[in-house]
Amino acid sequence: MSSSDADAIASYESIIVNNYCVVAASVFLLYEYVITIDREVNSFWHRAPTGASILFLSNRYLSFVVNVLGLIEFKQWSDESCASIARGLAVLTFMNYLPWAAFSGMRAYALCRDITLSTLVFLLALVPLPINAARFSFGLTGVNDPQWGCFAEDSTPSSLQLKFVIISRTSLIVSDALIIGLTWWALPKHTVSFATLHKTRVSLTTVLLRDGTLYFGVLLIMNVLHLAFSLTSMFGFADNGASNVTAFTEVVTAVLVSRFLLNLQEANKVAIRGMTSMDQLSTLAEGRTISFARFMGSIGESIGPGVSDISSRTEDTDDTLKAESFELLP
């Protein structure tokens, strides 16, 4: 077998694997939407818009459109339509990082109330957006292939692509690590039992600890894997520079952010029902106003020594939904 034949086979195999990953990730995302649509309706559709609901809907449906367009690309299009679809899909894919970065920054601010640190987290999480947008300066367009359909292509050198991956993934790793660290730093160890973290429906404090650790931990691990595979390729231990992990990283990020916001909204509703009076609901932490609370919604909740110690059970029929001491922080 000649070297050209071997290269063609390797290229064919790489494309097949990548397409399978794209389809699998899209199916996973669509399945997630189907099984959580009832929770979305109950948590966000019948309430006044807040920062949490805006983030939730933009994250959920921007990712949905991106993945639907990604599947449409497998169809044959005219050259002009293919170029438009590829560029439009690239823009939407890059814009996905905006709600994710906003979510990270708002959670950081809720945990530490430090505008400098929360801005740093936001900017670190936003780095992939301008890095990926730089592909337009290298002639990003759509190319029709008789076998694979329409796909995006640009003239970015492979060495520069790896540098882009290293910069963007490293910034995301640092951002996720900071969120996890802030979550545990803000944790009032006397208000939550680690034995309750496995429960699916628990108090606000437990949701903040469990989801803040688990979800951002998963994202950190996936970004580390993506970076590791790319570095392996750069140093000659693999044949191709692109990692298929990215096909799942962005979908998993969208799912975990949506789940975090859903769990926060539901736990926040339970905590509010546990309040004994409206006076308790208006007893907010220092520096927080009612208007800010309304804008932020459940995403503004934080873990800390409680200003309101609720000792009675809520009226919810689920015995696992216990009200705990918590603090409403921006």
The full set of domain ranges for the chain reads 3-300
CA distance 195 to 16: 44
CA distance 150 to 148: 7
Task: Report pLDDT for 157.
Answer: 86
Q: Which fold has domain 3-300?
A: Rhopdopsin 7-helix transmembrane proteins (1.20.1070)
Please state the pTM of the whole predicted model: 0.75
Give the pLDDT of the chain (330 residues) as one tens digit per residue: 556 666 667 677 777 888 888 889 999 999 999 999 999 998 888 877 777 888 899 999 999 898 888 888 788 788 888 888 889 988 998 899 999 999 999 888 888 888 999 999 999 999 999 998 888 888 888 888 777 788 888 888 877 888 888 899 999 999 999 999 988 887 655 444 445 445 545 556 666 677 778 888 888 998 898 888 777 766 655 544 456 777 788 899 999 989 888 888 887 776 666 554 434 434 434 434 333 344 455 555 554 444 333 333 333 434 443 333 333 333
Q: Is 139 exposed, middle or buried (0-12, 13-18, 19+ CB in 10 A)?
A: exposed
Distances (CA, A) of 120 to 54, 114, 165, 301: 22, 10, 20, 20
Task: Report pLDDT for 2.
Answer: 59
Q: Following DSSP, what letter does each residue of 8-73 receive, concatenated?
A: HHHHHHHHHHHHHHHHHHHHHHHHHHHHHHHHHIIIIITS---HHHHHHHHHHHHHHHHHHHHHHT
Task: Report pLDDT for 225.
Answer: 86
Task: Report pLDDT for 125.
Answer: 94
